[in-house]
Amino acid sequence: MDQDAFQLSEPAQLLSCAVFASPHSGNHYPEAFLAQSQLDRQAIRSSEDAFVDQLFACAPEFGAPLLAAAVPRAFVDLNRSTDELDPALIEGVRRQGHNPRVASGLGVVPRVVANGRAIYRGKIRLAEAQARISTYWHPYHAALQALLEQAHRRFGQAVLIDCHSMPHEATDSAGRAGRQAPEIVIGDRFGAAAGADVVDRIEAAFAAAGLKVVRNAPFAGAYVTQAYGRPSRNQHAVQIEIDRALYMDERLIRPNENFEALRRLLRQVIADIALIGPEEMPLAAE
């Protein structure tokens, strides 16, 4: 069950308080789900943060684990709360207040993919939604929590790097406003999810690689940063969004000619992030 939910790559020796995670790069689409959907295989992948797990695959070489979703976001979204159930999709769910993510069809079991395209022809049963959450959501988050606790025990702090990619069009608003379009968006929920010193170090790592970095606009972080970011307890959570145009053809959903160059560039960024914390404090006993 757990292997169906995620893939965990651990370092030979834990040397970093950083934990890298990629909740939206999963691409193991159940055949029954594909048959249930009105979208073809290409269209249903449009919400996927394709290849992000590959971009960060070297993290274990620098002493940090990498947790990558296997299940796709269109099937169950690991960056949503389990109570973000969409009454427009799931039978028997009552509307509870206004949640803009759920209202737009992007709850824990999404109703739509990119550009608002409906996944299903009709509704699904509540039992089906709950089974997805039980089978995939809970194992992923149990593994993530265990990794953060391990880092905190060893180093006195944990830094979650929640890795994502964003459609290139998401950066257009910055260009229209006369600002330079970002290539990297760092989300810390406006300081609520991570300490300023940690976010400064992460931003500096990307900037040193020559990448254009902004904070919290247009993405400040969603469920994962909100749930795991506890800077007062020395547990920090930072969301990273990478412009997909840097490394992939968004229409064809395949790596472009710059993929390997970006992966090499990110290797140094990952190495720099992995150094946050441990060199500044003595190692605790396991």
Q: Tell me the per-residue pLDDT of 211-224, one tens digit each, with 9 for 90 and over.
A: 999 999 899 999 99
Residue 249 falls inside a structural domain: yes
- Residue 179 confidence (pLDDT) above 80: no
CATH number at 193 reads 3.40.630.40
Query: How many separate helices (H) and strands (E) can be counted in the chain?
Result: 11, 9
Residue 91 falls inside a structural domain: no
Q: What is the pLDDT of residue 174?
A: 59
pLDDT (tens digit per residue) in 83-94: 999 999 999 898
Q: Over the chain, what is the mean pLDDT?
A: 92
Q: What is the pLDDT of residue 278?
A: 52
- Would you tell me how many other CB atoms lie within 10 Å of the CB of residue 95? 12
**Longest pairwise C-alpha distance within the chain:** 57
The pTM of this model reads 0.93
Do 107 and 166 touch, CB atoms closer than 8 A? no
Residue 106 falls inside a structural domain: no
* Top-confidence residue, 278 or 136: 136
- Residue 170 confidence (pLDDT) above 50: yes
Q: Which residues contact 141 (CB under 8 A, 6 or more apart)?
A: 78
Residue 150 falls inside a structural domain: yes
Residue 32 falls inside a structural domain: yes
Residue 214 falls inside a structural domain: yes
Do 25 and 242 touch, CB atoms closer than 8 A? no
Residue 48 falls inside a structural domain: yes
Q: Which residue is associated with the tokens 């606790």?
A: 149
Specify the number of domains making up the chain: 1
Q: What domain range is 176 assigned to?
A: 2-76+136-279
Which tokens in the block code for residue 72? 């796709």
Residue 247 falls inside a structural domain: yes
- φ, ψ for residue 238, nearest 5 deg: -130, 125
Which tokens in the block code for residue 62? 């620098």
Q: What is the pLDDT of residue 143?
A: 97
171 vs 237: CA distance, rounded Å: 22
